[in-house]
Homo-oligomer: A and B are copies of this chain.
């Protein structure tokens, strides 16, 4: 199990954009240079966030990215699932219905217990991430770091 590195990038960029939510868009060059990230690949992830309605992007000169919603309305889960996709990490293959010990359909009315446990864990994970917003992250930033991020 491994999360895409883009998750870290997306979260940091979201916090950075939240510093000046109503300022001009930040260009992809600036965003990439800010953390020394591969520009083209970073943008791929940012586009996923645009498609998910977290970011807005404007074309042309002085274009770039900005938050599509107030920082308090964007949860960490929003960002993570935008970048990583919302497919659960565990997908039940229903192996109980296969092989020598295959359970007949009438015993499979209830969802597979193994699946239930893994799904519950995934929900706990999502709930934890849903409880934190980009505004919270911004607030927890050390004083100095905040000042440095402003233009």
Contact = CB atoms under 8 A, between A and B. Distances in A.
Contacts of A100: 30, 33-34, 36
Interface string A114-146: 100110111111111100100001001110110
A60 interface: no
Interface residues of A, number: 60
Contacts of A126: 121
Interface of A: 1-5, 7-9, 11-12, 15-16, 30, 32-37, 76, 84, 89-90, 92-93, 95-96, 98-104, 106-107, 110, 113-114, 117-118, 120-129, 132, 137, 140-142, 144-145, 148-149
14 contacts: A1-B1, A1-B4, A3-B118, A5-B93, A7-B118, A36-B98, A76-B121, A96-B145, A101-B149, A103-B142, A107-B142, A122-B125, A124-B127, A125-B125
